[in-house]
Structure 1
């Protein structure tokens, strides 16, 4: 049975990914910053017929929780097949450059960028023990520099100093990571679930968590011929699903 760790999985898209992967027969570690909340969610899922789900405490800004999560998974599974770096924050708004405190920008980067690097570095040892390791970094179309430079793009007027730049940095990290692992059996991709109605955006997005989770899983549970180092988006309208960086 393949194992997967999903950070930020106790609600919204992360929770829906957990449900769908459980149904597909994977053992899911439901990552949550608050273990009590994570256990409550896992208990409810188990009571509703979802199997092979275990809550695990992991906060990408707290290295000690990342290492403890790694030790638990190593002792129980011996390896990790899939890492989905889903945890992220938007930061406080507005985020106009003249008004955005450096501390607020750093807080967003700590979770969306540095936290992802920390989690990934810690779990690489276990991922390398898998026959087909996968790393999916959950990003946003708002991290596309190409799209944000196009005045005709539908979200062109939404500029956010902290969130946009943190996701652009995450995308760049994905390119570097995919390159460094290209000679192994890894598939490393950035995946944008699209503008989805969640707690994250006060349920303003047009997309559903079901569609978002399905899209992420589609580009995570891939075969050996699948691409690596790509940026897939559920908002691309030409049908290619490949977003410009």
Structure 2
């Protein structure tokens, strides 16, 4: 997908009972949107120069009900759609890491039904274990929070769990183009992963100017897929 695509980019975020830091990468995507551009284009000429690159986006914040949902640390948010009503054919789904006790059947059904219809899935921390619990990751290469790799291998032995900061894997997709699964370790690795996804799928200068620059997100140090030790 390119930044010049006229199609609205529809992004689902599964954030019920997750750790707030796990879904912070969504802000990198949000900074590339037309809504964000409309608010900041007059701040600097460098921003306005990329106005034609801004992407029409729609975010779906998904939970079991439309009642205020919980995430750490004691934060409550208002969902915009339930698992039952959320479209299955999104462009991207981002999953944060929920408590292991959080496994609503509505979420499992959504993941199973949306898995082949949504082209790109991104998970952070034990969000991959949540996705694995639905059965769609069987036979695929994935990762999760490094401290939970042993538990992941025990709970979901059908998945090939790798000790990496993030893993990119082809996935089934019923639409055009190639389906992709990006799974990350802890929140920091997840943010690096989303930044890398954006740099590889949209104009790099646009991403650096509107997202990574304003967020003061520096791609130095270890920002690769692999741990140093």
Q: Which has the higher contact order (CA 8 A, sep 6+)?
A: 2
Instruction: State TM-score, norm by structure 1.
Output: 0.44
Higher-strand-fraction structure = 2
Higher-helix-fraction structure = 1
Instruction: State TM-score, norm by structure 2.
Output: 0.46
